[in-house]
Amino acid sequence: MVGATELTPAIPLLPFAAFLVALLVGHFAPRLLPKGGAIPGILATAGSLLLSVWTFVAVSGGGYYAQDIYTWVVGQNTFSLHFGVLIDPLSALMLVIVSLVAVLVHVFSLGYMNDEGETGLPRYYAGLGLFTFSMLSFVVADNLLMAFMFFELVGLCSFLLIGFHFREPGPPSAAKKAFLVTRFGDYFFLIGVVGILATFGTARFVAVGEGVHSFPHLAEQALAAAGGEGTMPEHVAHFLDIVGMSPETWFAVLGLLVLGGVVGKSAQFPLHTWLPDAMEGPTPVSALIHAATMVAAGVYLVARMYGFYALLPTVLAIIAFVGGFTALFAATMGVVKDELKQVLAYSTISQYGYMMLGLGTGGYIAATFHLMTHAFFKALLFLGAGSVIIAMHHNEDMWDMGGLREKMPVTYYTFLSGSLALAGIVPFAGFWSKDEILYEALIYGAGDSPILLAAYAMGLLAVFFTGFYTFRMVFLTFHGEPRSDTARDPHGVRWNVKLPLVVLGILAATVGLVNMAPVAELTGLHIEFLHQWLVIPEASNFAALGYEHYHHLLEEFAGYHAADIGPLVPGAVSLALALGGAGLAWVLYNVDSPTEHTEKLGGVKTVLYNNYYQDEYQVWLAEGVTLPLARAADTFDQGIVDGVVNGVSSVSLFAGSRVKRIQDGLVTHYAALLTLSLVVLLVAFGLFGGWF
Amino acid sequence: MAVAVEYYLLLSAAVFCTGVFGVLTRENALMFLISVELMLNSANINLVAFSHFYGNLTGQVFALFVMALAAAEVAVGLGIVLVLYRNFGDIDVRDATTMRW
């Protein structure tokens, strides 16, 4: 009997096989490929989903698992580099989410790509397969270097898929932007990985087995030693001598460097600018990027190495503040957008801001919870938007829609379920998770940490904007009178679009029930299933990855302590704000022929519509600062460095052309020169040798 | 009866200067060859003279080597002179300056 753990490597490898099939068969024998590669992709991801669920069941029975698969650099007297698999509650949960969303996106693509007669389908499905493979490998990675490698591969796949329609002008440029902006963050991540390997001599997330260390644990020991308990690990002490910093400072630098990659991938301020442009990709790809793969990777990475971040109060405060700020900042921009997918793009940035806020304020469970619920409701919203886009013949402007409620009821009700979840209306998924994040932020913020409290305030304010833009989107799209001919007679959608919508719609409505913290508090029932799931028993080898351990670290090292505030009042406040936002949208936009109320904002609208001129200032940074600097460096290189080299050569050339004239070819002259030189030499010897 | 070594040296210097004078003043390639031979042989005189003076045979052996070298040099030199004549119709060394850089 083969156990689930032995088959874990097959979870990512199945989509990789689908990628190879789509690529090779699609190239050499495209006619043999059923549905342009969709069928192998669906089979492979469905296989991954089954294996993931099996793994999930095994983990719920305590079947945690860490195994080195392949050591590709064997170190002599230093560290080795390897690929390995780590299955713990967090990665098992994420495996199920990713493979479920991947299956549904593949099925949806049948309707969105195949039925619409797109060309280049093998390329599309090859991209999806590689994307799923990269993300699943990233999720199971047991060390930071492997995580980094698949993190990069995820970025590459997003580049390939966003630029799928490469013959049009927009997508290639958006793909390039996504690639470059995330690469900018990943550059810091790479330095961070090298720094962590150099400091700790290992990049493992968890130490299982004899003589194995993990970097969060070594960091914990080093910090404890700095505080006067225990001994500093030798390797770390040696490296700290080299950099000449205290462990707190140096670890914070390392944490911030890795955070650079997270900010880029999870589209946090100021590296969020790539994400709205990424809407140029096919809609199923957007669903995959936003819900389960690319963008989730950043937040997942922080959760993965939370044992390290929980030691660093400075970094946690920065994470929380950036998250809270991003949540508010992106939500305000979402308010004025006219295109369906643009609104969703800004909602994604905003929601990932919440997750960062949760992680930064010590709400590890809350952030993981929101990562899960968001994966379902955001995939649902994007697929719903894709369905609307099919119906509207690829017109995305919400002002051309309206009245689609009667025409496409399945899409409407599932989309509504996702919207209620996004806006955070009880009892849909988003309410429970977002509320828990805000609650954690509040209790730790009120526990004497003004920065966390400020982050909480921004997150709370964003709830109102979220409710408003979400329902503005719903009302403009589905309610009122149709505002164009296509909206009056929309294109129908088939089962392959409706099935994923229904599955996700049910999940978006119900998945929040797995961790109803306020209800548990109120009734005293033990129904916080996710909480129990993420706690690892003390006796296990994997206890260092459990919530109890993180909580201990937060109190011990980061100095977090919770204020005694009940969950009901904050929950009621955020629900009231969400309802307020939704209600305002109801009043303004739930009419037969709505008008553009955002025009009344005047100058503010222009600023918001132009995304606070973030793109402009980043372009200015590139063209106004970096380019002149590069030009100056180029001038220095061409003028000074090359000038010296070229000068030496031209002086030699000139001198040679003059001196060669004494070689006139007359042997007599050569002989005369020789003789004369000899005479001169003799005379010189005579003079200096004292012969005379 | 032994001749003092100074006389050999004087003879050698005289022959050498004749050779140098020939190289510096003549235009005929054959005269060059002859002058070079004179210079080589002035060196030979020195070698033999010192060999005799110190009672050591090494110098005389070296003189034999120099003669072999001179023979080889003449063989090459005459070949060059022959080619000069074929190409320029003369053996004036100034004609060959057209072959410089």
pLDDT digits (tens, 9 = 90+) for A107-146: 888 888 877 777 788 888 888 899 999 999 999 988 889 9
Q: Does B23 touch chain A (CB under 8 A)?
A: yes
> A530 or A298: which carries more pLDDT confidence?
A298
CB within 8 Å: A671 and B99: no
Reported as a single tens digit per residue, the pLDDT across A180-191 is 888 888 999 999
Query: Which positions ≥6 away from A307 have C-beta within 8 Å?
Result: A205, A214, A216, A217, A220, A544, A545, A549, A550, A553
B20, B27, B97 ranked by CB distance to A665: nearest: B97
Residue of A nearest to B16 (CA): A675
B contacts of A671 (beta carbons < 8 Å)? 20, 23-24
Q: With 80 as the cut, is the pLDDT of residue A518 above it?
A: no
Instruction: State yes or no: pLDDT of A311 exceeds 70.
Output: yes
Shortest alpha-carbon distance between residue B39 and chain A (Å): 13
Calpha distance A606→A74 (Å, rounded): 57
Which of A663, A666, A675 lies nearest to residue B93, judging by beta carbons?
Answer: A666
Radius of gyration of chain B (CA): 17
| Assembly ipTM | 0.82
**Residue of chain A nearest B95, judged by CA positions:** A666
Chain B residues with CB inside 8 Å of A665's CB? 96-100
Nearest to A675 among B20, B93, B99 (CB): B20
Which residues of chain B neighbour A669 with C-beta distances below 8 Å?
none
How do residues B60-93 score in pLDDT, each as one tens digit? 999 999 999 999 999 999 999 999 899 888 888 8
% of chain B with per-residue pLDDT over 70 = 98
- Provide, as residue numbers in chain A, all residues whose Cβ is less than 8 Å from the Cβ of B26: 668
pLDDT band at A1 (very low <50, low <70, confident <90, very high): very low
Assess whether pLDDT exceeds 80 at residue A209.
no
Question: Chain A: which residues have CB within 8 Å of chain B?
Answer: 660, 663-668, 671-672, 675
Nearest-neighbour CA in chain B from A653: distance (Å):
15
Q: In Å, how far is B26's CA from the nearest CA of chain A?
A: 8
**A337 has a pLDDT exceeding 60:** yes
Q: Which residues of A touch B25 (CB under 8 A)?
A: 668
pLDDT tens readout for residues A262-286: 998 888 888 888 888 888 888 888 8
The mean pLDDT value for A221-232 works out to 81
Whether residue B100 and residue A668 make contact (CB cut-off 8 A), yes or no, is no
Least CB-CB distance to A663: which of B26, B27, B100?
B100
Q: Give long-range contacts, CB 8 A cutoff, 24+ apart: A107-111.
A: A107/A42, A107/A496, A107/A499, A107/A500, A108/A284, A108/A287, A108/A383, A108/A386, A108/A496, A108/A497, A108/A500, A109/A38, A109/A282, A109/A284, A110/A35, A110/A38, A110/A496, A111/A387, A111/A390, A111/A493, A111/A494, A111/A496, A111/A497
Q: Which residues of B touch A670 (CB under 8 A)?
A: none
Residue among A301, A286, A315, A257 nearest A379 (CA): A286
Q: Nearest-CA distance from A623 to chain B in Å?
A: 53
Q: Which residue of B has its CA nearest to A675?
A: B20
Q: Does B31 touch chain A (CB under 8 A)?
A: no
Closest CA to A102 of A174, A11, A25: A11
The helix/strand/coil state of B14 is helix
- Roughly what angle, to the nearest 10 degrees, separates helices A294-304 and A364-391? 170
Residues of B with CB below 8 A from A675's CB?
20, 24
B30 and A CB contact within 8 Å = no
B97 and A664 within 8 Å at the Cβ level: the answer is: yes
Check A664 against B23: CB less than 8 A apart: no
Contact call for residues A611 and A273 (beta carbons, < 8 A): yes
CB pairs A-B closer than 8 Å: 28
Answer whether A672 sits within 8 Å of B98, measured CB to CB. no
Picking from A653, A660, A666 by the largest number of B CB atoms within 10 A of its own CB, the best residue to mutate is: A666
Query: What is the average per-residue pLDDT within A402-419?
Result: 84
Give A-chain residues touching B97 at CB under 8 angstroms.
664-666
Q: How confident is the model over A440-485, as pLDDT tens digits? A: 888 888 877 788 888 888 888 889 889 888 888 888 888 888 877 7
Residues of chain B contacting A667 with CB distance shorter than 8 Å: 23, 32, 93
| Assigned fold of B5-98 | Helix Hairpins (1.10.287)
Q: What is chain A's mean pLDDT, rounded?
A: 85
CA distance A73 to chain B (A): 59
pLDDT at A227: 79
| Segment A215-240 mean pLDDT | 82
State how far residue A673 is from chain B, nearest Cα, in angstroms.
10
Query: Does A663 sit within 8 Å of B101, measured CB to CB?
Result: yes
Q: At what angle do helices A450-478 and A409-423 cross, to 10 degrees?
A: 160
In 3D, which of A191, A159, A187 has the Cα closest to residue A175? A159
pLDDT of residue A4: 64
The least confident of A116-120, A362-366, A573-577, A681-685 is: A116-120
**Interchain contact B27–A (C-beta under 8 A):** yes
Q: Which residues pair with A68 in a beta bridge?
A: A84
Smallest Cβ–Cβ distance between B100 and the set A665, A668, A671 belongs to A665
Mean pLDDT (whole number) for A563-577: 82
Torsion A46-A51-A55-A57 (CA) sign: positive
Residue B91 distance to chain A (closest CA, Å)? 13
**CB nearest A665 (choices: B23, B25, B96):** B96
CB pair distance less than 8 Å for A665 and B99: yes
pLDDT at residue A429, rounded to an integer: 84
In terms of Cβ atoms closer than 10 Å to its own Cβ (0-12, 13-18, 19+), residue B90 is middle
Work out the percent of chain A whose per-residue pLDDT is above 90: 11
Please tell me the predicted confidence (pLDDT) of residue A2.
58
pLDDT category at A63 given cuts 50, 70, 90 is confident
Inform me whether the C-beta atom of residue B16 falls under 8 Å from chain A C-beta atoms. no
The DSSP symbol for B3 reads: P
Neighbours of B62 (CB within 10 A): 16
pLDDT, tens digit (0-9, with 9 covering 90-100), for A625-672: 889 999 999 999 999 999 999 999 999 999 999 988 888 878 888 888
Nearest chain B residue to A673, by CA: B24
Domain regions of chain B by residue span: 5-98
